[in-house]
Amino acid sequence: MKTRMTELLGIEYPIICGGMFQVGRAPLAAAVSEAGGLGIITLKTQVTPEGLRDEIRKVKTLTKKPFAVNLNLFPSQTATPNDEFIDILIEEDVKIVETSGRSPESLMPRLKEHGFTVLHKVANVKNAVSAEKLGVDAIIIVGNETGGHPGMGDVGTLVMLPRAVDSVNIPVIAGGGFSDGRGLISALSLGAEGIVMGTRFMATQEAPIHENVKQWMVSANETDTVVIQRNIGSPSRVALNAVSKEVDKLENEGATIEELIPLITGQRSKKVYFEGNLDGGIWSCGQSVGLIKEILTVNELIKQIVQEAKNSFEFVQSRIESIRT
């Protein structure tokens, strides 16, 4: 399955595991890369530069294939020392980064000087065009279905993706609502060079989160998520639970960011991911959760997606032939 994305990244299949706070750790990233996709570890999860170094080295003990590190540019209560993190990436010879949250303009000169391949995640076409001008190597464009940060536009992937493809010349990778081979073929047919999945990879055996979370995802449907934090200009699609319902209620009543912070702090998500308390905090989850029916190994999942994609392609071919006759 060769595309411009697989050629750019040196991977077998056009499938990326998106950078996920708390979840983007060595076991999952390495499993995705080893199975032929691109795994991503998140530096914000590692807290310190030396913590990132340790996690990178863990990945390298598990796979010799390419992987990436997410550079978090989102506003945060605590400053993210990205320059120090980049020092570690250079020293550890990591060559692929995903940037997200804000424009990577301030980081681009150093990243390109040291030969990094830069994938920049955006939630609208305007930012995709701007990122191309900065010299990023590929765009990840996410529609409103995505878990995490879908942007303020409320535009779904079906429209967002072809708009982005028509607006830039660099490879476009699609995110938001993808979980199987039918989605992969759909993305390719709309001009994408591959897909990024986060929610689907959470429900795998290698994902370093509590079994309660995975089982909830298997039983959930596409309506079991909600977009919160619109009032503070940082929309986030999360699982529907007691905390996200409370945040939604408070926002509708005009709550301030100071009133919301105790509920939306990322540290509370640890109670969900690692203790299995499904109402312990807010945690990112996309609408594709409604398509998850089983917990597979990462290798099984990627093989299944590839086979489904081939089956979908053959089905479309047969439909075209039936129309011709």
Q: What gap in Å lies between CA 316 and CA 170, rounded to an integer?
A: 27
Contact 295, 231 (CB under 8 A): no
Predicted confidence (pLDDT) at residue 77 exceeds the cutoff of 70: no
Please give the share of the chain, as a percent, with pLDDT higher than 90.
85
Q: What is the pLDDT of residue 72?
A: 86
Predicted confidence (pLDDT) at residue 325 exceeds the cutoff of 80: no
Q: What is the pLDDT of residue 272?
A: 96
Backbone angles phi, psi at 87, to 5 degrees: -55, -45
Q: 193: buried, middle or exposed (CB in 10 Å: 19+, 13-18, 0-12)?
A: buried
Q: What is the pLDDT of residue 240?
A: 97
- Least confident range from 38-47, 122-131, 133-142: namely 38-47
Predicted confidence (pLDDT) at residue 76 exceeds the cutoff of 70: no
pLDDT tens sequence across 131-180:
999 999 999 999 999 999 998 889 999 999 999 999 999 999 999 999 99
Kindly indicate the confidence band of residue 266, based on its pLDDT and cuts at 50, 70 and 90: confident
pLDDT tens sequence across 30-41:
999 999 999 999
String of DSSP letters for 120-159: EEESSHHHHHHHHHHT-SEEEEE-TT-SB---SS---HHH
Q: What gap in Å lies between CA 74 and CA 232, rounded to an integer?
A: 13
pLDDT tens sequence across 150-160:
988 899 999 99
Kindly indicate the confidence band of residue 95, based on its pLDDT and cuts at 50, 70 and 90: very high
Q: What gap in Å lies between CA 90 and CA 52, rounded to an integer?
A: 12
Q: What is the pLDDT of residue 177?
A: 97
Give the pLDDT mean for 240-256: 95
Write b or e for each residue in 62-91: b if 16 or more Cβ atoms lie within 10 A of its Cβ, otherwise e: bbebbbbbbbbbeeeeeebebeebbebbbe
CA-to-CA separations, 323 to 30, 117, 185, 317, in angstroms, rounded? 44, 43, 20, 10
Predicted confidence (pLDDT) at residue 219 exceeds the cutoff of 90: yes
Q: What is the pLDDT of residue 135?
A: 97
pLDDT tens sequence across 7-37:
999 999 999 999 998 999 999 999 999 999 9
Q: What gap in Å lies between CA 72 and CA 74, rounded to an integer?
A: 6
Kindly indicate the confidence band of residue 268, based on its pLDDT and cuts at 50, 70 and 90: confident
- Least confident range from 112-126, 165-179, 251-265, 298-312: namely 251-265
Q: 43: buried, middle or exposed (CB in 10 Å: 19+, 13-18, 0-12)?
A: buried
